[in-house]
């Protein structure tokens, strides 16, 4: 990132109020810390992991930032509204929403229990809908705001069962909501491929994935978080509703030589 780019992000985020759902761990925590590093006040939403959320807030504060841990089940309509209303009441507004919650399961459909089907759709699609509904109305009323939904490249292929279906729903919602939120607010989806720091990935699968990625590696959490911050700048003012794919070129269709 150039100094000019860093300055543009800080100009856009400094003093802003940002809510990150599922911000207590993994990618959500990195996004929260990255937003705070550019001067944002960050609300770290968590469902059950209070200690983890407090640790993220402590790390942000130790670096000179400002962060607050707030509990809420974002698949519950009342909790989602409470989370947003409480943030607006306390801070006077909400500038950026990052819908990061997105539980994963890749059990084959024919072996899947209905409870897993419902849970994955709720955590990805219902939560995104509930939060954008609550935040979007307020952003339209005030005339500004940015929403970023974390999708995945699983939305574009059919090998990860209900998770792919759920992320396809997130992409669809992002496009549809862009029409409803415009011109006052902007909304985007980010679709990373396999993330380098993700645990419990089969090494052989990772090796095959890296071999099939033109950039020769997997995307990192900090790279995803930095794109989140970049999308908050005026440079992306005319890109609303689109999905940004972060996969190192892996999804580009190719014909294998000799085939």
Q: Mind listing the pLDDT tens digit for each residue in 15-55?
A: 999 999 999 999 999 999 999 999 999 999 999 999 999 99
Residue 198 has pLDDT above 90, yes or no: no
The per-residue pLDDT for range 144-161, each reduced to its tens digit, is: 999 999 999 999 988 779
pLDDT greater than 60 at residue 188: yes
Q: What tokens does 219 get? A: 């995307």
pTM exceeds 0.85 for this model? yes
The pLDDT assigned to 185 comes to 98
Q: Which of 46, 68, 104, 163 is catalytic?
A: 163
Whether residue 104 lies in the annotated active site: no
Report pLDDT digits (tens) over 60-82.
999 999 999 999 999 999 999 99
Of the pLDDT bands very low, low, confident and very high (cuts 50, 70, 90), residue 103 is very high
| pLDDT at residue 257, rounded to an integer | 65
The mean-pLDDT minimum among 15-24, 160-169, 192-201 falls in 192-201
- All structural domains of the chain: 12-246 (3.40.50.720)
| pLDDT-derived band at 245, boundaries 50, 70, 90 | very high
């Amino acid at each position: 990132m150039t100094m000019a780019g860093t300055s543009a992000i800080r100009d856009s985020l400094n003093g802003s109020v940002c809510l990150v759902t599922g911000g207590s761990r993994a990618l959500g925590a990195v996004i929260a810390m990255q937003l705070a590093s550019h001067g944002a006040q960050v609300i770290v939403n968590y469902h059950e992991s209070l200690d983890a959320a407090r640790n993220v807030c402590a790390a942000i504060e130790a670096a000179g930032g400002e962060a607050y841990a707030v509990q809420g089940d974002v698949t519950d309509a009342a909790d989602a509204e409470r989370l947003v209303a409480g943030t607006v009441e306390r801070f006077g507004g909400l500038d950026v929403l990052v819908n990061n919650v997105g539980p994963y399961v890749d059990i084959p459909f024919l072996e899947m229990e209905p409870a897993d089907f419902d849970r994955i759709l709720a955590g990805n699609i219902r939560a995104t809908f509930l939060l954008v509904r609550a935040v979007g109305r307020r952003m339209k009323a005030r005339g500004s705001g940015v929403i970023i939904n974390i999708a995945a490249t699983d939305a574009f292929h059919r090998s990860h069962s209900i998770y792919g279906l759920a992320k396809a729903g997130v992409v669809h919602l992002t496009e549809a909501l862009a029409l409803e939120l415009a011109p006052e607010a902007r909304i985007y989806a980010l679709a990373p491929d396999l993330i380098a720091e993700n645990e419990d990935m089969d090494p052989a699968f990772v090796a095959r994935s890296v071999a099939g990625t033109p950039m020769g590696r997997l995307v990192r959490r900090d790279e995803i978080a930095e794109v989140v911050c970049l999308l908050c700048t005026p440079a992306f003012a005319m890109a609303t509703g689109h999905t940004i794919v972060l996969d190192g070129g892996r999804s580009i269709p190719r014909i294998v030589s000799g085939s």
